A and B are shown apart, each in its own frame.
Chain A
Amino acid sequence: SQELEQSPQSLIVQEGKNLTINCTSSKTLYGLYWYKQKYGEGLIFLMMLQKGGEEKSHEKITAKLDEKKQQSSLHITASQPSHAGIYLCGADYYSGNTPLVFGKGTRLSVIA
């Protein structure tokens, strides 16, 4: 079974609306990475969370890691067309000594 589940699989929002993407792990995380990908292109690093309860923000994107370190959410405020793409969460279970395990991604479309 998938260790890392992302939801929703896809999301269509109107420009200016807020949205949340969730990432749930079946086991405790050492760290959780968020990336954005334009279709067929490389992964752009957004942020990395390591401590339970940690929250980080970059421009209009905020990511949180729950206290148990098994769930993270990515929140976009006042979405814009530039936010469209695929959002991927990647789990580090062993302090950086193994490859990241990825969720299947959330495809976000922002319509005018």
Chain B
Amino acid sequence: EAQVTQNPRYLITVTGKKLTVTCSQNMNHEYMSWYRQDPGLGLRQIYYSMNVEVTDKGDVPEGYKVSRKEKRNFPLILESPSPNQTSLYFCASTGRAEAFFGQGTRLTVV
């Protein structure tokens, strides 16, 4: 079964405390990406990766980092989270004519 697995589903953290949201896919897709979803703003691209060791910025990359050391994993790193990064985050894995999303991570930064 095609799956994109994100963890954790929910996270409350304090300003400045580094965190990582993991994302894993089992479809051997080359293409993975991260989005954040905010009320009234829809889904916005943070970073994407076209293959191992190939990443690029999306529309809202500030305050985020990613890495793609292996094909199946694409973690999102917040080195010093701030309250404006409170949001619902989605990881996506894309192949030809298909794009699957993880279940989402609801992050609150206080």
- A residues bordering B, Cβ < 8 Å? 31, 33, 35, 40-43, 45, 48, 50, 88, 90, 92, 96-105
Interface range on chain B: under 10, 10 to 19, 20 to 34, or 35 or more?
A: 20 to 34
Which secondary structure dominates chain B's binding surface?
strand
A40-B106 in contact (CB<8A): yes
- B residues bordering A, Cβ < 8 Å? 31, 33, 35, 40-43, 45, 48, 50, 58, 88, 90, 92, 94-104, 106
B95-A99 in contact (CB<8A): no
Q: A40-B106, A41-B103, A42-B103 are in contact. Are A104 and B42 (CB under 8 A)?
A: yes
B98-A48 in contact (CB<8A): yes
Contact with B99, one of A45, A50, A104, A105 (Cβ below 8 angstroms):
A45
B102-A42 in contact (CB<8A): yes
B99-A33 in contact (CB<8A): yes
Complex Cα gap A99–B100 (Å): 12
> Which residue on A lies nearest to B103, using beta carbons?
A42
A104-B40 in contact (CB<8A): yes
